[in-house]
Structure 1
Amino acid sequence: MTSYLLAGPLIEPVTLVEAKTFLRVDNIVEDGFINTLITAARLHIEGTTGRAMIAQTWRVVADSWPPDRTIVLPVAPLISISSITAYDADGLPTILALAQFQPETNTAPARIFLPPKISEAPDLREHNGIEIDYV
């Protein structure tokens, strides 16, 4: 599986004012640098833990449905599934009904359980046949 960040967080977990107060900086000269440090710290923590600190939209791409019917997502927590799209051999997309999938939102790593038979799923193309978008 491959994952892509579609939409990053709209805010950082620490504001510029909070960081400047902690650092005892009272001028604006270093604001750009401090903002860069805030983002770098968040990215480091998220990369190390596999957990998003602020809501983000991710896409996971897979070649096929897993045999154990469990999709393990690379970034937790799973807030909601936005869409699941399956591509047939000709590359035509089919958007699948989300009600048939069971998200597990209270675990790390986050998981999605598949039904025994996925309704409306086409025969998948050989590579990248499944796209799952989630927050």
Structure 2
Amino acid sequence: MHCLPPELVTAPTAKPISLVEAKAHLRVDHGLDDGLIERAIDAAAGHLDGYGGILGRALMAQRWRQFFSFWPASRCLPLRLAPVTAIVEIRVRAADGSESVVDPANYRLLAGASRPEVLISLAASLPALEHAPDAVAVTYAAGYGETAETVPAAIRQAMLLMVGDMYRFPETVALGASGAVPMSATVDRLLAPYRRVQL
């Protein structure tokens, strides 16, 4: 059956790096380019953060909803993003069309750094599900925290380097150059330990 992508429920309210930090990194002491720098910060965050980001991680605190079409025999529901801090709700739609919320006493979060999962208790009585890709909806809180300082320093430094590249090379191809301006190789090295394999 078709697998639905995770759905963003609540977007982060803060950014992993601030305008002040980015300007200090760039050694910019005026406000003329603030809009450009803010867009570069947003672009860097968008490239790394959430389900669409290359890391497969939530950086700042946010909420996601993930869908399942059946109960796995293992009773483990793998979550696409990390780190996961809490399960907000598991809502199911039964074969008869009724909806219910799974009692939190019947599951627990296995918040491993690489593959967070929800483990459904073997003692829990699970309803027969509606034949639909969103029969089970798991809403969860993800991200390193509410403040930028909770995000690993290597990720934040990589973002600053990305912002620097975008600020200094606003065009994808420099005038007279033979190809696109590449991002710093240091960025890849800083991010490598945090990349997750999407299953």
TM score, norm. by length of structure 1: 0.90
Work out which of the two has the higher radius of gyration on C-alpha atoms and give 1 or 2: 2
- Which of 21, 39, 42 is 1:39 aligned to? 42
Separation in 1 of the partners of 2:115 and 2:32? 41
CA-to-aligned-CA distance 1:5-49 (integer Å, 9 cap, x gap): 111111001011000111112222222221221122122223222
CA distance in 1 between partners of 2:24 and 2:97 (Å): 53
The CA RMSD over aligned residues, in Å, is 1.5
User: What 5-or-longer segments of structure 2 have no aligned partner?
Assistant: 142-199
What percentage of aligned pairs have identical amino acids? 32
Q: How does 1:42-57 map onto structure 2 within 5 Å?
A: 42-46=45-49, 47-57=53-63
Matched residues in 2 for 1:115 and 1:105: separation? Answer: 16
Aligned to 1:82: 88
User: Does the 8 Å CA contact 1:94/1:122 hold for their aligned counterparts?
Assistant: no
| Alignment partner of 2:21 out of 14, 18, 25 | 18
Secondary structure, aligned partner of 2:85: coil
**Number of aligned residue pairs:** 134
Q: Secondary structure at the match of 1:36?
A: helix
Larger fraction in strand = 1
Q: Could you tell me the TM-score, scaled by structure 2's length?
A: 0.63
Q: Tell me which protein shows more helix as a share of its residues.
A: 2
Quick one: distance in 1 between partners of 2:30 and 2:99?
53
**In structure 1, distance between residues paired with 2:96 and 2:72:** 21
2:104 to 82, 98, 101: 98
- Runs of at least 5 residues in structure 1 that lack an aligned partner in the other structure: none
**Whole-Å separation in 2 of the counterparts to 1:27 and 1:92:** 59
